[in-house]
Chains A and B, each alone.
Chain A
Amino acid sequence: MTRVAVLKGGRSLERQVSLKSGARVQDALERLGHDVVGIDVGHDLVDRLRAAAPDVAFVALHGRDGEDGTVQELLEALGIAYTGSGVSACIRCADKVLAKHHMLDAGIPTPDFFAFNETAFKELGAADALPAIEERLQFPIVVKPSGQGSALGIKFAAAPKDVPGALVAAFSYGDKVLLEHHIDGRDLAVSILDGEVLPVVEAVPREEDFYDFEARYVIGRTEFVCPAQLPEEITVRAQELALEVWHVLGCRGFARVDLMLGAATGELTVLEANTVPGMTETSLLPLAADAAGVGFDALIARIVELAL
């Protein structure tokens, strides 16, 4: 019997999502017969970890502190084994801009982009470069905070007048922002468990214009197709790309890579990689595992095993 501390909650904007993920993980671990301690992370995390003395920590924290290497670094310092990717992979994946640069360097296709932090605008007059950027990227442009998950803060700019407001909104979530050419197409997610790719999931929002926060977490708002109805060569290519990303970014344990299949081009591009993907009822990794015959409990068991 293993003692597992489930780290969840925290102070990021995805706290509520994390509490849901964490609760499901805890339930599964209990059913599996582990000795489970749930920890809503806060100021007293180190004390609580020392008191719990777990054999392994299951990281179910999304966003800031949980997915960006912060808590992983802490667990390394305390010598506690933990699930999922290590510090460096988390750092690379949590910052979409950094991840995209790694992908570019490795020749992995990703949408054309520019990235800026606030000082570029305040100190270097980057605003004057906006027309050139818009020309290069072509509208519609999607503006996103570089470090924010769950589709929070994503805005679409259809024309130049939309860009300043979209930037102000995105900068509300962090000090680095990504502007990408918006690819119209199909949202595909490829999850990977210990270096093995799982069936591709397609998320088809029923009502929302894009796979936004509502579409992700409100039950019934999105149709999930797994395995995605795709030509075999696209499926294989998507899985290959996901595995390349997994290796380039140095992921470990489990992860989810999000891709777009462009409607106009028929080409696949990689949007981002997530080192602590959601484990809620509407989350994509558990769905994919389920389609591969790995039920939720078995998935959690495997993730824990890999960490020990």
Chain B
Amino acid sequence: MTIDDRDRRPGGEPRRMAPKPGARQTSRDLERYAGLFAARTRVMKSSAMRDLMALTERADIISLAGGLPDTSSFPAESFAAIMGTVALDSTARSLQYGPTEGLAVLKTCIAEVMAEEGMTVDPDDVLVTTGGQQVIDLVCKTLIDPGDVIIAEGPTYPGAVPTFCSYQAEVIQISLDEDGMRIDELEATLERLDREGRRPKFIYTVPTFQNPAGTTMSLPRRRRLVEVARERELLVLEDNPYGLMRYEGDPLPTLYALDGGDFVIYLGTFSKILSPGVRLGWSVGPRPVLEKMNIGKQASDLCSSSLTQLFVAAYFASGRWQDYVHSLREIYRRRRDVMLDALAECLVGGRDEFRWTHPQGGIFVWVTLPDYIDTTDLLARALDEHVAFVPGRAAFLDGRGASSMRLNFSGVGEADIREGIRRIGEVVREQVELYGTLTGSHRIVAPQPEPAPAPADQQLADVLHLPRPPDRRRQRPGAREG
């Protein structure tokens, strides 16, 4: 025994502070605030994950976790000129409140953007919002009572999860495969809900280059989804931030275009084609729904920023906005290719041991690892190696996704993408080998050696564009899926 005598009272008991009479049972701060919080503030997202994710923003980490577009290529002089135009030509107006539904001049630009994807809209039918995120919020605000069902994809856009939770919705997630949402599973789920006497209030989908999976809903499935919506009179919220960020393949008609306006609420945004900092998005959809959303928006923020709306309008007027989109597309396409090549080199395994999607556009790749690896724990390890990604659990509300991860390729340069994937490959390999040791199935997994140099004429090609021999992927076992 090593208890110091001075810590004992004469009777031999340890010195201790007695609780004061009538001691309250919780600390003042807890009482003051916790008892007041509304039920809707109970968020489902893990706060451990949130704290881990906060670490991914450190400057010394290669973060493949963000969803940031590359804004570094926007020319400073253009920015200054446009702001100057707005300041001089629309001084009072840009500093003033505007109508809740948005400035007419911006709605014309929005109609132009939608026309670029084959949709014709009357500018008057557009609701301008503060970012695309606000559309998700307003749709929930308009449609969702606590306990109402929302159908979403599984995985789904992680940013939608807290919004759904804040309206206390019950979210049912439908699996994805390489052609997007499994419509057969959707229909079976709707049947089951029917039998339970329940109807979803809406179906939330990101059909094109989905965040996080990178998958695109095939045309037959789009048609079927629109049919199902009509048959059952269900609303569909189509979230399309990346439609114009296509690197290969042919554009598909949006659900909105296929539907004709009765059941699809369309969500668009300037974040990925121009700037997320301007905080501007929009919605078009069935008029009665948009009217309610308008009222909900007014109650939220009165109106979106007049200053940024005029900035975007001036930007559209000053030149071809499509050129900037094209240049971003080029940058992202190369980065996507670098990432996919790096994955193929660094995650080499047996059949289907490591799988990842092959996005035809957008800014994310979704990787699935063996199910004994938990990507939340893996992230803790990866941070030690100064690389970060989004653990797959963030995209689910039901505990799925634990062995998947979302990788972003728009936010970092090509060299960092290569190095980041290399580091991820190492920590994954470490865990695979450890698991093998622990279960007696010893395996050493080595990175794929560099492929043989291309024939002479191909070597003359621009190295930045990483020429891809057409059938290289099919020859490599265990590589990409989707």
Chain A positions near chain B (C-beta within 8 angstroms): 11, 13-17, 106, 118, 121-122, 127-128, 130, 150, 152-153, 163-165, 167-173, 193, 195-199, 212-214, 217-220, 224-227, 236, 239-240, 243-244, 247-248, 281-282, 286-287, 290-296
- Is the pair B438, A163 in contact by a Cβ cutoff of 8 Å? yes
A137 to chain B, nearest CB (A): 16
Residue of B nearest to A12 (CB): B55
Could you give, for residues 368-386 of chain B, a 1 whenever the CB lies within 8 Å of some chain A CB and a 0 otherwise? 0000111001101101000
Cβ of B26 under 8 Å from chain A: yes
List B contacts of A127 (CB < 8 A).
437-440
For the complex of A and B, the 3 pairs showing the least CB-CB separation, nearest first, are A292-B17, A164-B438, A213-B48
A-B contacts, 23 of them at CB < 8 A, read A127-B437, A150-B48, A165-B372, A167-B438, A168-B374, A168-B377, A170-B377, A172-B378, A173-B377, A193-B17, A213-B48, A219-B30, A236-B14, A239-B14, A239-B16, A247-B4, A281-B29, A282-B30, A287-B27, A290-B23, A291-B23, A294-B17, A296-B27
Output the residue of B16, B55, B439 with the most chain A CB within 10 A: B16
Query: Which residues 14-58 in B have Cβ within 8 Å of A in the complex?
Result: 14-20, 23-30, 33-34, 37, 42, 46-48, 50-52, 54-55, 58
The yes or no answer to B114 lying at the interface (CB within 8 A) is no
User: Does B51 contact A17, Cβ atoms closer than 8 Å?
Assistant: yes
Q: How many residues of B contact A (CB 8 A)?
A: 51
Given contacts A219-B34, A281-B33, A296-B27, 19 further A-B contacts (CB under 8 A): A15-B54, A164-B372, A165-B372, A172-B374, A196-B15, A199-B23, A213-B47, A213-B48, A224-B25, A226-B23, A226-B25, A227-B19, A239-B14, A243-B7, A244-B2, A247-B3, A290-B23, A292-B18, A292-B19
Q: Which residues of B contact A17 (CB under 8 A)?
A: 51
Which of A169, A219, A247, A293 is within 8 Å of B377, CB to CB? A169
Known: A224-B30, A244-B2, A248-B2. A13 touches B380 (CB 8 A): yes
Contact B20 A291 (CB under 8 A): yes
Which residues does chain B contribute within 8 Å of A294, judged by CB atoms?
17
With A121-B437, A172-B377, A244-B2 as given contacts, are A197 and B55 in contact (CB-CB < 8 Å)? no
**B452 partner residues in chain A, CB cutoff 8 A:** none
CB-CB nearest in chain A for B382: A172
Partner of B30, one of A122, A153, A195, A281: A281
* Residues of B contacting A106 in the complex (Cβ-Cβ under 8 angstroms): 2
Residues of B with C-beta under 8 A to A282: 30
Min Cβ gap A143→B in Å is 11
A235 to chain B, nearest CB (A): 9
- In this assembly, does B435 line the interface, its C-beta being within 8 Å of a C-beta of chain A? yes
A13-B51 CB under 8 A given contacts A164-B439, A168-B438, A226-B23: yes
Q: Which residues does chain A contribute within 8 Å of B29, judged by CB atoms?
A: 281
Q: Tell me the complex Cα distance, A14–B50, Å.
A: 11
B20 near A13 (CB under 8 angstroms)?
no
Does B108 make an interface contact (CB < 8 A)?
no
Whether B431 sits at the interface, judged by CB under 8 Å, is yes
